[in-house]
Amino acid sequence: MLTIDQIIHQRRSHFLADFSGEKLPDSLIHRLLENAHQAPSHKATFPWRFCVFSGPALERLSLEMVHWQEQQADASSFSPEKRAKLLSYPEKLSHVIGLGVHQSGKVPAWEEDAALAMAVQNIYLTLASEPHAAGYWSTGNGTGSEIMRQLCGFDEHTLHRGWFLLGHVESKRTKAGRPPLEQVILEINR
Ligand SMILES: Cc1cc2nc3c(=O)[nH]c(=O)nc-3n(C[C@H](O)[C@H](O)[C@H](O)COP(=O)(O)O)c2cc1C
């Protein structure tokens, strides 16, 4: 059994190229969301919102992402490689969780975002305790757009904050790329 320190240190993002294409059980996705829901929130606003895509819904999502890219002002930079990558989502990914943050108006918006990030960290840490399930938070592919908000079924008080892309991996990276701790501690009171 991994200790909490090991889970935190070994937690890594895993990306599309890492995924085998094998599907993860829905029970694990449910566990990820149960654990995400344990995050703290100021004034108990519970601002995190999730929408799970798999199977035919994941196929539709990948097509919507392609369509969104084609509609952008810089659509000319939407390369064939990027298109092929998006179209491979249904085959390579297992599930995608649409991430939203509900604005309660009771606390500053940044606090709702902070709470969502803590919920997403719970997803990351739960995955770190699993040998073959992995993923990462993506803030590309229409993140924040009206079309993606609606696709996720989020109401008008909820902002779309990206995607958690999930897949099965044969083996995991655990090594972290981090600057020395001293670099981020600006002052120590002695
Ligand atoms: C708010 C947030 C947004 C992110 N968005 C993206 C993204 O759009 N694309 C991507 O490749 N990785 C994204 N990541 C994942 C980071 O690339 C990843 O966390 C970083 O490379 C460090 O790797 P580690 O998670 O294994 O420590 C995001 C992470 C966070 C916290």
Quick one: which atom of ligand 1 is closest to the CA of 12?
Answer: 26
Handedness of CA 122, 124, 129, 133 (dihedral sign): positive
- Is residue 133 within 8 Å of 24, Cβ to Cβ? yes
Q: What token pair was written down for 101?
A: 């943050």
Does the CB atom of residue 48 touch ligand 1 within 6 A? no
Radius of gyration of the chain (CA): 18
pLDDT given for residue 29 in this prediction = 98
Quick one: which atom of ligand 1 is closest to the CA of 120?
Answer: 31
| Continuous segment of H or E residues that includes residue 164 | strand 158-168
Q: Residue 137 C-alpha to ligand 1 middle, in angstroms?
A: 6
Does the CB atom of residue 150 touch ligand 1 within 6 A? no
DSSP state of 17: G
Does the CB atom of residue 137 touch ligand 1 within 6 A? yes
Q: What token pair was written down for 73?
A: 């002002």
For 33-82, how does the pLDDT look when each residue is reduced to its tens digit (9 = 90+)?
Answer: 999 999 999 999 999 999 999 999 999 999 999 999 999 999 899 999 99
Does the CB atom of residue 174 touch ligand 1 within 6 A? no
Quick one: which atom of ligand 1 is closest to the CA of 178?
Answer: 27
Q: What token pair was written down for 105?
A: 């108006």
Nearest CA residue ID for atom 6, ligand 1? 138
For 92-144, how does the pLDDT look when each residue is reduced to its tens digit (9 = 90+)?
Answer: 999 999 999 999 999 999 999 999 999 999 999 999 999 999 999 999 999 99
pLDDT given for residue 186 in this prediction = 84
The single-letter code of the amino acid at 5 is D
pLDDT given for residue 190 in this prediction = 62
Could you tell me the fold of the domain covering 10-170? NADH Oxidase (3.40.109)
Does the CB atom of residue 12 touch ligand 1 within 6 A? yes
For 139-166, how does the pLDDT look when each residue is reduced to its tens digit (9 = 90+)?
Answer: 999 999 999 999 999 999 999 999 999 9
Distance (Å) of CA 109 to CA 103, 136, 180: 7, 23, 31
Domain ranges, ordered by start, for the chain: 10-170
The span from the CA of 127 to the CA of 150, in Å, is 27
Distance (Å) of CA 13 to CA 79, 123, 124: 24, 11, 8
Does the CB atom of residue 161 touch ligand 1 within 6 A? no
Distance (Å) of CA 138 to CA 42, 120, 184, 186: 25, 11, 25, 30
Find residue 160's DSSP bridge partners.
100
Q: Name the average pLDDT for the chain.
A: 97
Does the CB atom of residue 19 touch ligand 1 within 6 A? no
21: left (phi over 0), alpha (psi -120 to 50) or beta: left
